[in-house]
Amino acid sequence: MRRCFHLMVIAAFVFMGVTISAAYAQEKAAPPSKKIAVRAGHLIDGRSDKVTDNALILIEGDTITSVSSGGQPPAGVEVLDLSQYTVLPGFMDTHTHVILNGDITAEDYDVQLLKQSIPYRAILGARNARIALEHGFTTLRDLETEGAMYADVDVKTAIANGEVPGPRMQVAARAMTPTGMYPLLGYSWELKVPTGVQYVDGVDGARKAVREQVMYGADWIKYYSDRKYHFEADGVLHSMVNFTDEEAKAIVDESHRLGKRVAAHAIGSDGIAAALRAGVDTIEHGDGLTDALIDEIARKGVYWVPTITVGAYVAPGRGGNWTRMVDLERVAFQKALKKNVKIVFGTDAGGFDWKELNQAKEFEYYVQYGMTPMQAIRSATSMASELLGWKDKVGTIEAGKWADIVAVSGDPLKDISELSRVKFVMKGGVVYKSEMH
């Protein structure tokens, strides 16, 4: 009877269109009444510029109930002693591919789509999600499955149901380009090969594709604004734009109408300009941002997710313009920082091998490129929560937020690479990693 009622409540949530809340309602989190006190040697809360020493964080169930400087934990409460550690909010990576395992060359990519089944790829996706969590990433925005249809929705659901360990996820499912503008390409026309995205043509086709992806669980709509990146005599990185303006606007308009937001892959200046004209919410990569486009992205309040790690990682393997594009992005980053563009942490993990490289490497680039360590941390915590629309739930260590907490042994403000050596991970009040000495 009780279970029946529970299901009815979930059904009601789904009916009301708040499936994400329903998924969390089902999550096997800490028992609702369990109380934990965390003693933090140094606390970086994700919001303030100041570090609080000897902080006491009280947690009930999956939620932080209070944060204070000093003080004693109430009697009878389990105490986690992190007094020798720096404690931070769980990290958030807003551009990942849990279903992908490196694609430096076109060959790597084709093998995954042609020789691996979608169930096999989903199993690796669950493994990659666990790797991310153990590296301190308690939230991911996963930006398309690269040919694995809606398998990201399944990975997200299995995590939310407590079946496998992993971060909280928002997912983009299949992504979109017009016909013929994304791999797999180059095979005989006699063969029916899988495509890395959903091919979408025309204004009606765009609206239908958005509706379909939302029906099957996409939290975000992603489309590829451009391809074929090349430098021209003006020194600007140009590209070929994929969709007509009418098609791109239809994707954005239909997504917004259904309460979803849109991420655009846009590398060249032409692709970035087209995505901004269409009204997207986030620009992914953005290597070719010109001064005028930086002004526009700042004025419109669009988020920029630079994914520097993947560019630096694949450049040697891909050759061509990729090295020059990495250099160009560094300059754009420094200009965007000065103009207060909302730069949010995103790595493109999956574009590089999850097992070889810790996605926290991205923090190091942001500091090398001119952010303070505190700004870099905020880009992966409070700024990221704003991009995800979860500002009231994650991204800072404050009363009322979910208890997503990580700890490192050194001082990340002195050495940002400390964030690649996370020793403790809690998500929703449950400890997933504890390597304290």
Closest CB 93 distance from Zn ion, rounded Å: 11
Query: Least Å distance between CB 411 and Zn ion?
Result: 32
Residues 57-116 that bind Zn ion (CB under 5 A): none
Question: In this chain, which stretch among 34-42, 101-109, 203-211, 346-354 interacts with Zn ion, using CB under 5 A?
Answer: 346-354
3-state secondary structure of 295: helix
Minimum separation from the CB atom of position 192 to Zn ion (A): 25
CB nearer to Zn ion: pick between 226 and 348: 348
Site for Zn ion in 37-56 (CB under 5 A): none
With respect to Zn ion, which residue has the nearer C-beta, 329 or 348?
Answer: 348
CB 285, min distance to Zn ion, A? 8
Residue 94 C-beta: closest distance to Zn ion, Å:
11
Nearest-approach distance from CB 268 to Zn ion, in angstroms: 16
Closest by CA position to 177, among listed 107, 110, 227: 227
- How many residues belong to the site for Zn ion (CB under 5 A)? 1
Closest separation between CB of residue 131 and Zn ion, Å?
Answer: 17
Between 154 and 348, CB nearer to Zn ion: 348
Q: Which is nearer to Zn ion, 60 or 348 (CB)?
A: 348
62, 103, 329, 348: which one binds Zn ion (CB under 5 A): 348
**Residue nearer to Zn ion on the CB measure, 126 or 314:** 314
Which among 12-20, 163-171, 341-349, 394-402 is the span making contact with Zn ion, rule CB under 5 A?
341-349
Q: What is the nearest approach in angstroms of Zn ion to the Cβ of residue 215?
A: 23
**Minimum distance from CB of 265 to Zn ion (Å)?**
7
**Minimal CB distance to Zn ion: which residue?**
348
**Residue span binding Zn ion (CB under 5 A) among the ranges 34-42, 75-83, 345-353, 371-379:** 345-353
Q: CA 226 to CA 289: how far, in whole Å?
A: 13
List CB contacts of 392: < 8 A, sequence separation 6 or more: 400, 401
132 vs 159: CA distance, rounded Å: 13
With contact defined as beta carbons under 8 Å apart, do 407 and 433 qualify?
no
Three-state secondary-structure class, residue 33: coil
- What are the respective helix, strand and coil percentages of the chain, to the nearest 5? 35, 25, 40
Burial class of residue 164 (count of CB atoms within 10 Å of its CB; 0-12, 13-18, 19+): middle
For the chain, the residue count is: 437
Q: Which is nearer to Zn ion, 82 or 325 (CB)?
A: 325
Question: What is the full DSSP assignment across 65-124?
Answer: EEEEES--PPTT-EEEEEEEEEEEEPEEEEEE-TT----SSHHHHHHHHHHS-HHHHHHH
Q: Which of 275, 229, 234 is CA-nearest to residue 252?
A: 275
DSSP state of 57: E
Q: Report the SS3 class of residue 431.
A: strand
Token pair of 124 as six digits: 């690796």
Distance CA 36, CA 429 (A): 8
Note the residues at the interface with Zn ion (CB under 5 A).
348
